[in-house]
Structure 1
Amino acid sequence: MSIDAGTLQTPVGLFTGQHVLAELEGVEASLLDDEQFLRDTLHSALERSWATVCDVMAKRFDPQGVTVLALLSESHASLHTYPEKGSIFIDVFTCGDQAQPERAVELLAEALCPSSVHSQTIRRGRDQDTELA
């Protein structure tokens, strides 16, 4: 584990994180095909969840569907939409313990108003208290 030389108490570069995978169904097709809405909604949800957004890019597919990728200081987030099915895959992975990826998914769900949400969180890496060998 690295130690911030400025404080000698705050660990940096912790090898720990949370990876949230979610599927939302029953979402209005027009929302899932609106590239700008999805970009803005993802960016806002991430910032409101204490993630640091470095960049957001998106691609709208013909005849429908959008993929949005966000590069975070803490890692990444992505959306993959299926307007014809009213469904979206969400993936938010953040390293460290400041960002709240579960909250980001909750905020996305609030904005998209799905009829169902299936989400799981995978803890990755090591606990802060675990020394690397």
Structure 2
Amino acid sequence: MSTVSGPVQTQVPVVGLFTGQHVLAEFAGIDASLLDDELFLRRTLEHVLDQAGATVCEVSSKQFEPQGVTVLALLSESHASIHTYPEIGALFVDVFTCGDRARPELAVRLLAEALGAATVQTKTIHRGWETS
């Protein structure tokens, strides 16, 4: 009779690459009415993420009083968020996508165009393992 000691090893299928891009951005010079329009921001974020190749699973948002909106998008690839400051015409954007199919930098650029941002500052952080 044969016995096996120690933990049982199972193979977990690899479904994605452990790599990603995390784009952090600040936009300024935006019309305050756009930054306080929850429905517009939800639709616009979802549209630009789709255009950039991301898979949007769900979008959630919160309208704040007296002003400001936060929009969160759950992606198959990870997440995206917008936090607005209508009183100063600015917002923060955060788009993180795992793998190499979605293009978070494109999503941020398209969002800046859709909002008519006068200034855009971005920083891209490469995360995970490098792929060849």
Question: TM-score, with normalisation over the residues of structure 2?
Answer: 0.89
The structure 2 residue matched to 1:12, chosen from 12, 15, 25, is 15
Dislocated runs of 4+, deviation >4 Å? none
| Equivalent residue pairs, number | 122
- What is the distance in 1 between the residues matched to 2:95 and 2:74? 10
Q: Shift of the alpha carbon at 1:3?
A: 8.8
Which residue number corresponds to residue 65 of structure 2? Answer: 62
For 1:44-63, what aligned pairs fall within 5 Å after superposition? Answer: 44-63=47-66
Matched to 2:101, the amino acid is Q
Structure 1 residue runs of 5 or longer lacking an equivalent are 5-10
Q: Shift of the alpha carbon at 1:115?
A: 1.1
The structure 1 residue matched to 2:87, chosen from 84, 87, 107, is 84
Matched to 2:37, the amino acid is D
Larger Rg: 2
Question: TM-score, with normalisation over the residues of structure 1?
Answer: 0.88
CA contact (8 A) 1:3 1:12 kept: no
- What is the distance in 2 between the residues matched to 1:3 and 1:99? 24
Q: CA RMSD in A?
A: 1.5
Matched to 2:36, the amino acid is D
